[in-house]
Structure 1
Amino acid sequence: MLSQVDKKSNIPLYIQLAESIKKEVKDGELGPNYRLPFMEDICKELTVSMTTVRKAMDILQEDGIVYKIKGTGTFIKGSIEAIKKENISLKDICFLSRNAIDLESDSFYSEIYKGIFKVARENNINVIISTCNPNKLPDIKNIGGVFALEIDDERYLNSIAESGIPVVVGDYILSLSNCDYVTYDIYKGARMLIKTLIDKGHREIVYLGGMIRTPYGRSIAENGNGIRLNTINEVIERSETKINLTVYSTTIGIHASYDLTKEILKQEHLPTAIFAFDDAVAEGVISCLQDNKIKVPEDISVVGMGGYKNRRINKKITSFSYENKKMGEITAERLIQRMLGDVNAGFTMLIDGKFIPGETVASAKDMK
């Protein structure tokens, strides 16, 4: 399948390999969406190192010749001439959100936007920001693709997809087969955080789940609650010690979680730890605890999710940080692939994250 590289040549092997694949694409020997052999197999076939193959694939990806799908493989995007020709007709990307986006103060949205903007700029297209209106579709005349972040209205999204506009849904996985999905590995994050609390000796734990207000004005449980709470319960059930978990719900945000924490503090028995839906909820919790002379983490430990920038507290929250910029980049790349007709809908991608030790968790035995 691959041309042999010349190990006696002065040209680096990874450049030879990249150019060899480019030639086969140009000559039509490797067509669009053809999956290349796994890197290990290429190493064996050409008797070259993994570093050589990885460098070659990086060059091909940077040049727009291949695209990668984690856990699936590396695929040919299309012929070089076809890519250049199709790039001329690319249209703008619409960043569609549930609520108005404040890129100045909201690090969650701003990091995702940076990722989308980076890829869009590389392809000479713009990013348009719009808010979901269930009674009106966005103006699609100059839009080539839509990224719908935290929107779960299937009728609304299906209407956009049925109009021929590629749609990537962010942070939700719905039943629509004509959309793509990019979401966070919430299971991994929730598991790491609850295990951290249990390993630190916490046995009285409160979970503050998130509520959202829909475009129709209803308050409903946030989509990620199910994964978080199921994961927490799963880890607790497997624990060898008895753990008491109390569940509350609050509208996502600092003010609502602050008010709910005030009510929790009226209880006779306080928890030793609070697992907040996300860092915004955690920040409201910590602010309320501090205002009521309760030290974090000396008196009560707190964890969140998201890795957001703090607005009101001076402690780094123990959290699971999402790779928001990566979500934006993958989304934009996928929309462009859909615009070019290189791939079909139905792609689902989990975005990884990392544990942030922070300063808001202490060992239960060291607490007052």
Structure 2
Amino acid sequence: MNVESMKYRKVADLHPLPDNPRTITKADFERLVDSIKINGFWEHQPMALEEQGGRLIVLSGNQRLKAVKKLKMKEVPTVLYSDLTDEERVEIILRSNINNGEWDSNILTTAPAFEAVDFGFIGLELPQEETKGKKTSKKKIALTPSEDEQDQDPENDTDNEDKGDDEETNEKEAFYRSMLKDVLYESDNIYEIPNLLLEMQAGKVELPLSPWGANSRLRKDVATYHFYVDDYRFEALFKDPIKLLTSNCKAVVEPNCSCHDQTPIAYGISLIYKKRWLCRYLQECGIKVYADLNVSHKFIEYNKMGIPKGYNAFFTRGLDGWLESLKSDLQVAQEISGLERPNLVVYGGGDEIKAFCREHGLLYVTDFINAKKK
């Protein structure tokens, strides 16, 4: 067996493994996409490749390959194996593909590549009723993790949780649910979009600042959440925001429900109502809020509704080549706050946006997700 040093290769040149024994649920796949989008692609976990028939085949990392294609990433870290024996190839496929999916027992018990494998020896337990050579329905197969792998997921270790903390969390959740009612909040506009509370406006950005996503929802150390991610990743919040409330965060940016110039006005107003109602509820529960100004020109006036005069906590999304949009958002923040230099935070956008923020006394925060992609 020979292996080259880690090297970045084009995603377009990589091909999935035929008869890949690893499957993944939609929810797990979305979590994997979130993880790569938030954390990037770790160089210490490159895809394992082998050239087969003139093509680069992914032995380890097929689910990640799907994820990076969805994220439209151009290159990923890889290692290329050559002169593999059948045993070495199977070893790479089975031992490396532990995370982010489930084993497809049909393939494991019928594909010729795995015919001579001692699954018990590598810690993979097949259901007893299954026999090799007999096609069965897909079943989940348990893989006994090594000590190192067990250490990698401390969030699943519930044996050492403090019961006092659990009781406090349960009490908080009960309180939050008692507040989650179908209520009308006071409004200063004809569309009855709820007013945010002046006394619960956010101040300086407290770190860590994190996007709301599958991985970040498990964390308990995030001080401020923003929602400059795909809408579907936070749609569930409008039905049940308890996970956000029990995350121990102190402040949030209003969910950035996408309002484009092509969005019908009636639907756009409903999205603004939803995000402002949710954030008023969060304020009632003790979480401070930044008003999100990142809407298309068509919805600027509607988006002002429910933000009281004197409010001075704003966020917007900086976009490369869209400086005029940021200038417009600054004018809105100045108008509402009454200040020449309002508390407006700009998330990403590149050097031109950063220079504008520096000139006008605004806080610029690097969009580390796209920065990692580059």
Give the structure with the higher percent strand: 1
The one of the two structures with greater contact order (alpha-carbon pairs below 8 A, sep at least 6) is 1
